[in-house]
Amino acid sequence: MNETLQQEDRLYRKLISFKQSGFITLEEFQRCHPVGSQPARIYGLPKVHKTSIPLIPILSATGTYNYGIAKLLVNRLSHLRKSYTIINDTFSFIDELKTISGDPSSYRMVSFDRNQQLTTGALMRYLCGNTSEKAILQVVDIKVIEKIKNDDTSIFTKCYHLILSDGKHTFSPCMLDTKVNKLIEMNFLKENSIIRIDCVIVN
């Protein structure tokens, strides 16, 4: 049997149980239950501004068996993303900058260079197995990776300290979005003159 159809059938039965238990409504069930699913497609967009024109891997999940349930989860969890540290677009970012009072020279703007997109990380894990330690920092000595990769609770903090202490290291986005709110309360930000973090998420 086609593996995609197997996954579709498995998810369909799970959604039925969710509907019967009242976890999702009939409308939500009809909106997200899979019908005629197809495998995800991967393609690349060229980075024409770089030498050798590398490709940005894009994984299109439209039409996959779990596409509908993913959209449902986005709606269900959207209230968790509402925060004063999150803005939706560049226009909101400019408006936010206008609200900052005081001497502009007393502020410091920090830019995190995302040298590995989330799709690339997922692709690497699919092709090469568990490469979480590679997805966290791209330009770090291998001994540092070995030292911190087994400590999930503090790995983000340690990586962040590396960035603040050495500007040559580039931060990967894999843990930024999930823990950026906790960073606001960390004392070491103030110790490094960083008093504000805005995570820009472009829809």
Reply yes or no on whether the pLDDT at 31 is more than 70: yes
3-state SS assignment for residue 61: coil
Give the integer Cα–Cα distance in Å for 149 and 144: 8
Nearest to 156 by CA among 139, 180, 138, 134: 180
The predicted pLDDT at position 191 comes to 52
| DSSP result, 74-124 | HHHHGGGG--TTEESSHHHHHHHHHT--S-GGG---------S-HHHHHHH
**pLDDT tens-digit series, residues 130-160:** 444 444 434 333 333 344 344 444 444 444 4
Q: Looking at residue 78, what is its pLDDT? A: 77
Global pTM? 0.44
